[in-house]
Amino acid sequence: MTDPRTAATAPLLELTDLAVQLPTGRRSSVDAVRRVNLRVERGERVGIVGESGSGKSVTGRAIAGLLPENPRVQVQGSIRFNGREMNGADQRAWQEIRTRRVGMIFQDPLTYLNPVMKIGRQVEEAIPAGGASESRRRESLRFLQLAGLTDVEQLAHRFPHELSGGMRQRVLVAIAIAKTPDLIIADEPTTALDATVQALVLATLDETVRTLGTSLILISHDLAVVAGMTDRLYVMYAGRIVESGPTAEVMAEPRHPYTQALLRSVRSLVDDDVELYSIPPAFRDWLRTEGAGLEFTTTTQDGAR
């Protein structure tokens, strides 16, 4: 079923047959991403779920153009923003994207903030150029507030190590939204945080995205995190998408054995009645051989994939 796409109806982001190879040794490489087809519409929230090594983070970085600057890193396939092809585009085009269109929230707020630069300045940097310094300063404070921080005047003069983990993560959120992007990619935004703080930060993220109307790609290994916040879901394993569809439906009726296994292991953790379950090696062998390439897509009501 094809429907003609015009610029007006083109999705905000569309990945077609994306593949990424990363160097792992002097002469060896690994297929971090094998073949990913993914899209995000305006205002949509999409989740990418998978274990470590599944390629979900690499996918996120490929979208933002933040793969390592190593000539041995290879990207094939199509990355389209608003219909515009980005793979193979020059530095300037990518810089435009990173400056204004795509904001990224990273995993570990301690290491992802510059330890010797004040918070206020780090947020200000993210605001696209232009405007007097005074107004930029005010803007940066506003974004810090939007990200759920209080007492921002004080905070702006502090250094990262003076803040708590939750506060630092919110600074990362502020940095991402400071450019008023069309798309925010959050890569494991709560993994480094305590359980109690996780919920708070997620709530902040939820609120912020809702207020600004940006699209969101939420990447996590934690199904619970993704389930609560996304409209659609992609499940990745070993560099491939094994299942996709509306979040509620995928969670209720997973079709791919891997999704089923994932759900089962999460439930086994949460539910006292269910026996503790971890994915057996035999299953992984199967995934690697016969089960490779198996992909289940649940389409939505209007027939879109």
Partner 1 sequence: MKAALLHYGRLLLSSLLLFIAVLTVLFLLLEIAPGDPIDALIGDYPVSEEYRAQITAAYGLDKSVWERYILYLANVFQGNLGQSFGSSQTVVELIGSRIWNTLALALPAFLISTFGGLLLGAIAARTRSRFLDGGLSGLSVALFSLPNFWLGILLIMLFAVTLGWLPTQGKAPYGQEGIYIQYLILPVVTMATSELAYKARIMRSSMIESLGQDFVDTARSKGLSRRTVLWRHAMPNALLPMITVSGYSLGFSLAGSVIVEKVFGWPGMGLLLLDAIMRKNNQLVLGVVIVITLTVIVVNILTDIAYGIADPRLRARFSGKGGAA
Partner 2 sequence: MSTSGPDRDPILDTARAALEAPPTGLAVTRPGGAKRESLWRHFFERPSTWIYLGILAVIAFVSFVGPFFAGDPVALGNPKLLEPSLEYPLGTDQLGRDYLPRILQGGQVSLLVGFTVAILCMTLGIIIGGLAGFFGGFADTALVKVAEFFQVLPGLVLALVTAALFGANVVIIIIILSVTMWPAVARIVRAEAMRIGQLGYVESARASGFTSLRILWSDVLPNAMPPVIVATTMTVGRAILIESSLSYIGIGDSNRPSWGALLNDAQGYLANGWWLALFPGLCIFVVVLAINMLGDSLNDALNPSIGKVK
**CA pair distance 64, 205, nearest whole angstrom:** 19
- How many residues in the chain? 305
The residue range among 77-85, 114-122, 170-178, 277-285 that interacts with partner 2, by the rule CB under 8 A, is 277-285
The residue range among 43-51, 94-102, 117-125, 293-301 that interacts with partner 2, by the rule CB under 8 A, is 293-301
Instruction: Name which of 171, 250, 180 is nearest 204 in CA terms.
Output: 171
Whether the Cβ atoms of residue 14 and residue 38 lie closer than 8 Å to each other: yes
Q: Which does 244 bind (CB under 5 to 8 A by kind): partner 1, partner 2, none?
A: none
Rg of the chain over Cα atoms, rounded to whole angstroms, equals 20
How many chain residues touch partner 2 (CB under 8 A)?
Answer: 32
How many CA atoms, within 13 angstroms, populate the side-chain half-sphere of residue 50? 25
User: DSSP states of 118-147 as a string?
Assistant: -HHHHHHHHSPS-S-HHHHHHHHHHHHHHT
Q: Does 64 bind partner 1 (CB under 8 A)?
A: yes
In the numeric block, which tokens belong to residue 115? 């330890």
Q: Does 108 bind partner 2 (CB under 8 A)?
A: no
Instruction: Name which of 172, 225, 170 is nearest 201 in CA terms.
Output: 170
Q: Which does 111 bind (CB under 5 to 8 A by kind): partner 2, partner 1, none?
A: partner 1
Rounded to a whole number of angstroms, the minimum distance from the CB of residue 68 to partner 1 is: 9
In the numeric block, which tokens belong to residue 235? 């499940």
The residue range among 41-49, 143-151, 164-172, 281-289 that interacts with partner 2, by the rule CB under 8 A, is 281-289
Whether the Cβ atoms of residue 241 and residue 248 lie closer than 8 Å to each other: no
- Residue from the set 52, 70, 150, 196 that interacts with partner 2 by CB under 8 A: 70
- Residue from the set 260, 262, 269, 304 that interacts with partner 2 by CB under 8 A: 260
Whether the Cβ atoms of residue 179 and residue 99 lie closer than 8 Å to each other: yes
How many chain residues touch partner 1 (CB under 8 A)?
Answer: 36
By CB under 8 A, name the binding residues for partner 2: 22-26, 68, 70, 72-73, 249, 255, 257, 260-261, 264, 278-283, 285-286, 290-291, 294-299, 305
The residue ranges that bind partner 1 (CB under 8 A) are: 64, 66, 95-100, 102-104, 106, 108, 111-117, 122, 125-126, 128, 158-159, 161-165, 167, 172, 175-176, 179
